[in-house]
Amino acid sequence: MNRSIIISSVFHAGLIFITAMSLPFLAKKPLEIPPIVSVELIQIAEKTNIPFAPKAKKIIEKVKEKEKKLVSEQAPPKKVKKTKTKTVVSVDKNEKIDSKTPEAIPLPEKTVKKIETKKESKQNPDKLDEEVKQVSEFEKKEFVDLDNIAKLIDKAKEDTAELIKKNNDITQDQDKSIVTSGLTLSEEDALKAQIFGCWSIPLGLPYNEDLLVRIKLMLEPDGSVSKTEILDHARMNKPGQSFYKVLAESALRAVKLCQPLRVPTTGYERWKELQLNFDAREMLEG
Amino acid sequence: MILSKIYKNTLLILAACLVLTACATKKEVATDIQGQMQSDVYTGTDTVEYLADGVPDRVFFATNETILTTASRETLRAQAAWLRKNSSINVVLEGHADERGTREYNLALGERRANSAKDYLMTYGISSDRISVLSYGKERPVDAGSNPLAWSKNRRSVTVKAN
Amino acid sequence: MKKKLILLFLISLLPLKAFALIEVDITRGNLNPLPLAVSPLSIDDKSKKSFEKILKKENIGSEISTIVENNLRTSGLFNPLSKEAFLQAPDIANLKPRFEDWNLIKAQALITGKVTYIDEKLRVEFRLWDILAAKEMMALAFTTVPSNWRRVGHIISDKVYERLTGEKGYFDTRIIYVAEEGPKTQRKKRLAIMDQDGANNKFLTLGNELVLTPRFNPTSQMVTYLSYFKNLPRVYLLDIETGTQEVVGDFPGMTFAPRFSPDGKKIIMSFAKDGKSDIYTMNLENRLVEKITNHPSIDTSPSYSPNGRFIAFNSDRSGYQQIYVMKSDGSNVKRISFGNGIYGTPVWSPRGDLIAFTKLHKGKFYIGVMRTDGKGERLLTENYYQEAPSWSPNGRVLIFYRETKTNAKGEGFSAKLWSIDLTGYNERLVETQTDASDPSWSSLLSN
């Protein structure tokens, strides 16, 4: 009995010793992992030069701070002035609508459909009452043709749109030769950052559609917007594209909300016309 | 240096041995609690009722399975013998599933479980006219708990007298 | 001469340079719900008194606007602002909003309206205003019996939703579900129906027998469901208006997992016999029964594509529950779910591009969506137990049911309806009087 215990323990000790010897990894120092080199990936627009980037960031941050102040201090009074002039217009419109109303409103009132309650099974003690059928009783009348709203939004004429299209084609061809006439990265980013803050992306949009709206702005030297124009406005009234109108309207609201835009202090000729490409895809997918 | 390395390793291995032993004892405790299950199939008798002396009314299944275990076959043979003796009795086989599945699939699964019991009874000479099949899916558990033991009790086919 | 030509050429270039339009890409914005103001619908004193008598509601105008407000808020897409901040009285706002006032409280849209009592009818007009553009976006009027006032609120919500998102709404809808009571081992289940917001709840059966999986037909007037009437689980058809019901088909065994075809003319379901379940259709007009699948496996939970040409279903022919798609005649069966875990309850989206499903993986249940070819799987929500998604009519929201433990020890349980946006955001409990399961969303009632 004792002997077997001794033999057993000797063998066990031997086993443990052998295992201990053959465990090499514990003895070795851990592999030296080279220090992690952080690489910053910066997206750069075609037009800008890389050296601007680090500076620009700081500038943008400053600008953002400024914006916050500006929005809270300056924006409201300015807007009040502007909207006032617009209210006058809308009053006219309202009156028109109201005067129309009596004609449009008298709605033919159908009599309630009588519902004959058929055999009721024992299982259904409380049948649903008439509500279900009264769907048909609703009378709807639109005061304003909804299609017209799209037209109201941008009053631009089609021929000017075409002109701009032509011009766009030309600019695209000439893009490379006129690099210097674009905004600098800091200028562009300041503007972007401002509009990012103003744009409420409509949340119900289909996530898998083309969600690009291009808007052309005519600007005053102080950055206020004198004219807006939706470039693909033919798409506004296409069937199955109702989300496009919604998106375009949200872009226009963003521009309105952001006024005056943070434009460069110099070179008005460069940016008195500006095209904003609103693209919601990135946000809605991510 | 080397010595201290060996010493360290030895300690480590001893520690590992201790951990393993601890595991073993724990496992014994665990099987004690779950003694009513064998590889996912309920083997206890808590919920079992008897059609007659020595004739249990139900058989149990593994998760997502409809195959009869050895114990289940024994139970069904006893039921078949009892049915042969009492030829006036018809039965309904009620198939059930546990709650860990979608409702509609479980209805089909319960039907399949009851049918595998029915098929076995038929191979022991019980006419299909005397057996009807009804699935409750997961709608009528015997144990309302949400744990593996409760689920194993609920995965069942119960033979119920129809007349 | 040459010099002149060159000069001319240079001049011709000049205007081009002037036209060089600077483009700025705006790829980010805020995804906060759109702030809007729902002004209480204005009402004159006479109408107010009339409605108070008929409907026992003190101010029906503000009741309706509250419905609109709640609907828009639960959608997760809009942020109705607090009424306390409103500066303009409802009646004046409806005539001519002072846009600068509404702008001040950061509203981007405004809903105003007027309620009147004319010839024993309820007449509601409402307008939607774009605050920043300072113009009217929409104006509508309805006339109906006063008792329909809640539906007026839902229809207004749908119109606003559609105008501001470009998609149809889903508020003027109902949900049919199974109301549950009692202990798990002897659960009492009744068919129940309610408005999408939980109002007007009604029980359709007494609870004497087990009922499961009710589903609306496309016009939302009929429901098909599984009943254990006389202990024979069969698919039934129920007319909600008349309360009449009938067994669907004459099958010698259990029929279950029913759904309507998109044209409402057929019911597709499973029929289980001898341990195998296959998919059948029954034409409700000529009562013809057609067998669609023929396989020794379990084939169940069929769901038509909106165009009626395909059927998604659940089968364990590979060994475990997976989702398959086939043509509506049963040919061309293809497995589409290949992720980890098992998949069940496929439901084709009303838009046709997605299939919602329940997935069980490592002891967790997920509600998710995948494209109809099985790619692009997205899991929207994870929980201990949940299943049975049903689409809102616009394909934007899913409603499903979830069982949770009532205490931390894991004892007791409760089953409730939940809804979640297709994006995986805005998960919400749908309030029901009792416990609830197996929801089915109706189509829009007003269209």
B12 vs A: CB within 8 A: yes
Q: Percentage of chain A surpassing pLDDT 90?
A: 9
Distance of CA A217 to the CA centre of its chain: 18
Q: What is the ipTM of this complex?
A: 0.90
Calculate how close chain A gets to C206, using CA atoms only, in Å. 6
Determine contact: A148 vs chain C, CB below 8 A. no
C-alpha span between A60 and A75 (Å, rounded)? 19
Structure tokens belonging to residue A46: 């075609």
Find residue C437's DSSP bridge partners. Answer: C178
The CA distances from residue C370 to A208, C275, C341, C358, in Å, are: 14, 30, 15, 11
Lowest mean pLDDT among A196-200, A206-210, B57-61, C268-272: A206-210
Torsion of CA C260, C266, C269, C274, to 10 degrees: 170
Inform me whether the C-beta atom of residue A125 falls under 8 Å from chain C C-beta atoms.
yes
Query: B108–C183: do the CB atoms touch at under 8 Å?
Result: no
Q: Which residues of C386-405 are buried (b: 16+ CB within 10 A; e: fewer)?
A: bbbbbbbbbbbbbbbbbbee
The token pair that represents B110 in the structure block: 């319960």
Q: Which residues contact A60 (CB under 8 A, 6 or more apart)?
A: A186, A189, A190, A193
pLDDT digits (tens, 9 = 90+) for C121-155: 999 999 999 999 999 999 999 999 999 999 999 99
**Which residues in chain C are closer than 8 Å to B144, comparing Cβ atoms?**
183-185, 413
For the ranges A69-78, A107-116, C1-10, C58-67, the one whose mean pLDDT is highest? C58-67
Cα separation, A82 vs A62, whole angstroms: 28
Q: How high is the pLDDT of residue A74?
A: 40
Listed range (A65-69, B12-16, C185-189) with the worst mean pLDDT: A65-69
Between B69 and A2, where is the model more confident?
Answer: B69
Closest to C301 measured CA to CA, from C363, C356, C262: C356
- Residue A220 structure tokens: 């005053």
- C184 and B64 within 8 Å at the Cβ level: the answer is no
Closest CA of chain C from B7, distance in Å: 42
Least confident of A104-113, A173-182, C247-256, C327-336: A104-113
Q: Poorest-confidence range of A151-160, B53-62, C3-12, C192-201?
A: A151-160
* C128, C137 Cβ separation under 8 angstroms: yes
Interface probe with B: pick from C254, C387, C438, most Cβ of B within 10 Å: C254
Q: Is B71 helix (H, G, I), strand (E, B) or coil?
A: helix
- Residues 62-121 in C contacting A (C-alpha not used; CB under 8 Å): 75-77, 95-96, 98-100, 103-104, 108, 119, 121
Strand B41-42 relative to strand B37-38, pairing: antiparallel
Please state which CATH number belongs to domain C34-165: 3.40.50.10070
pLDDT tops 50 at residue C86:
yes
Contact A123 C205 (CB under 8 A): yes
Q: Looking at the partner chain, which of A135, A253, A277 has a beta carbon nearest the beta carbon of C25?
A: A277
Q: Give residue for tokens 């849209």.
A: C109
| Residue A16 C-alpha, separation from nearest chain B C-alpha, in angstroms | 6
Contact between C100 and A216 using a beta-carbon 8 Å cutoff: no
Percent of chain C with pLDDT over 70: 94
Highest mean pLDDT (candidates A49-63, A237-251, C25-39): C25-39
Q: Compute the nearest-CA separation of B44 from chain C (Å).
A: 19
Beta carbons of B158 and B140 less than 8 angstroms apart:
no
Give the C-alpha separation, C404 to C424, whole Å. Answer: 20
Q: And the tokens for A149?
A: 């709203």
- Is residue A161 within a helix (H) or strand (E), and if so which, with residue range? helix A158-174
Counting residues of chain C whose pLDDT is more than 90, the rounded percentage is 83
CA–CA separation, A277 vs A46, rounded Å?
Answer: 15
The closest of C29, C14, C37, C38 to C153, measured between CA atoms, is C38
Q: In this model, does residue C250 exceed pLDDT 70?
A: yes
Q: If you write DSSP's letter for every residue of A212-269 in order, what string do you get?
A: EEEEEEEE-TTS-EEEEEETTGGGGGSTT-HHHHHHHHHHHHHHHHHPSP---SS-HH
Average pLDDT of chain B to the nearest whole number: 85
Cross-sheet strand order for the sheet of A212-219: A225-230, A212-219, A273-279, C22-26
C-beta separation of C278 from C294 below 8 A: yes
Write down the CATH superfamily of domain C174-441.
Answer: TolB, C-terminal domain (2.120.10.30)
pLDDT > 80? residue B16: no
Q: Which residues fall within 8 angstroms of residue B27, CB to CB, at 6 or more apart?
A: none
**Residues C416, C404: Cα–Cα separation, whole Å:** 8
Question: Which uninterrupted H or E stretch holds C300?
Answer: strand C299-304
Degrees, nearest 5: CA angle C43-C46-C48: 45
Tell me how far apart the alpha carbons of residues C369 and C359 are, in angstroms, rounded to a whole number: 10
Q: Closest Cα partner for C242 from B56, A129, A70, A276?
A: A129
pLDDT greater than 50 at residue A137: no
Is the bond preceding A260 in cis, omega lying within 30 degrees of 0? yes
Whether C342 and C359 have beta carbons less than 8 Å apart is answered as yes
Q: Which residues pair with C34 in a beta bridge?
A: C78
Amino acid A239: pLDDT: 78
Distance CA C89, CA C86 (A): 8
Query: What's at A104, amino acid-wise?
Result: A
In sign, the C-alpha dihedral spanning A159, A165, A166, A168 is: positive
Name the average pLDDT for chain C: 92
The region of weakest confidence among A185-189, B26-30, C137-141 is B26-30
CA distance A225 to A203: 26
Q: What is the pLDDT of residue B9?
A: 63
Confidence of residue C371 (pLDDT cuts 50, 70, 90): very high
DSSP codes joined into one string, A67-118: HHHHHHHTHHHHHHHHHHHHHHHHHHHHHHHHHHHHHH-----PPPPP----
SS3 B2: helix
* Count of all residues that appear for chain C in the document: 447
Choosing among C12, C21, C162, which should be mutated to test the A contact, i.e. which has the most A CBs within 10 A? C21
Tell me, what amino acid is at C12? Answer: S
Better-scored residue on pLDDT, A98 or C25? C25
Contact C166, A244 (CB under 8 A): yes
* Spatial CB neighbours of A221, under 8 Å, sequence gap ≥ 6: A268, A272
Confirm whether A118 is domain-assigned: no
CATH of B37-161, one of 3.30.1330.60, 3.40.50.720, 3.40.50.2300, 3.40.50.620: 3.30.1330.60
Minimal CA separation from B139 to chain A, in Å = 21
Q: Is residue A248 part of a domain?
A: yes
3-state secondary structure C194-241: EECCCCCCEECCCCCCCEEEEEECCCCCEEEEEECHHHCCEEEEEECC
Of all residues in chain A, the one with the smallest CA distance to B4 is A27
> Mind listing the pLDDT tens digit for each residue in A8-21?
887 877 777 676 66
Burial of C218 (0-12, 13-18, 19+ CB in 10 A): middle
Grade residue C188 by pLDDT with cuts at 50, 70 and 90. Answer: very high
pLDDT at A277 over 90: yes
Q: Which residue would you say has higher pLDDT here, A54 or B98? A: B98
**Do strands B156-161 and B131-137 pair parallel, antiparallel, or not at all (unpaired)?**
unpaired
Range of the domain at A242: 55-83+146-285
Burial of A247 per CB tally in 10 Å (0-12, 13-18, 19+): buried
**Residue C393 is which amino acid?**
P
The answer, for B146 touching chain C at a CB cutoff of 8 Å, is yes
Residue whose tokens read 């979608």:
B102
Cβ–Cβ < 8 Å for C311, C326: yes
pLDDT on residue C12 = 53
Which pLDDT does position B50 carry in this prediction?
A: 93
- pLDDT above 70 for A29: no
What pLDDT is attached to residue C3?
65
Cα–Cα dist A72/A74, whole Å: 6
Site of tokens 């027998």: C209
In the three-class reduction of DSSP (H, G, I as helix; E, B as strand; rest coil), residue B127 is classed as coil
Q: What is the mean pLDDT of residues A174-190?
A: 65
Residue-range domain boundaries for chain B:
1-33, 37-161
Q: Which amino acid is at A139?
A: E
DSSP SS3 for C51: helix
Give A 228-267 residues with CB within 8 A of chain C.
242-247, 249, 251-254, 256-257
A162 in helix, strand or coil? helix
Q: Quote helix, strand, coil % in chain A, to nearest 5.
A: 55, 10, 35
Q: What is the pLDDT of residue C410?
A: 61
Residue A226 lies in a domain: yes
C174-441 and C34-165 share a CATH fold: no
Question: What is the length of chain A?
Answer: 286
| Residue A39 pLDDT exceeds 50 | no
Domain-embedded: residue A205: yes
- Select from C277, C345, C413 the Cβ nearest to the Cβ of B108: C277
Query: Do residues C131 and C102 touch, judged by C-beta distance below 8 A?
Result: yes
Q: Higher model confidence: residue C349 or residue A127?
A: C349
| Count of structural domains, chain A | 1
**What band does C447 get if pLDDT is binned at 50, 70 and 90?**
low
Helix/strand/coil (H/E/C) assignment for every residue in C52-100? HHHHCCCCHHHHHHHHHHHHHHHCCCEEECCHHHCCCCHHHHHHCCCHH
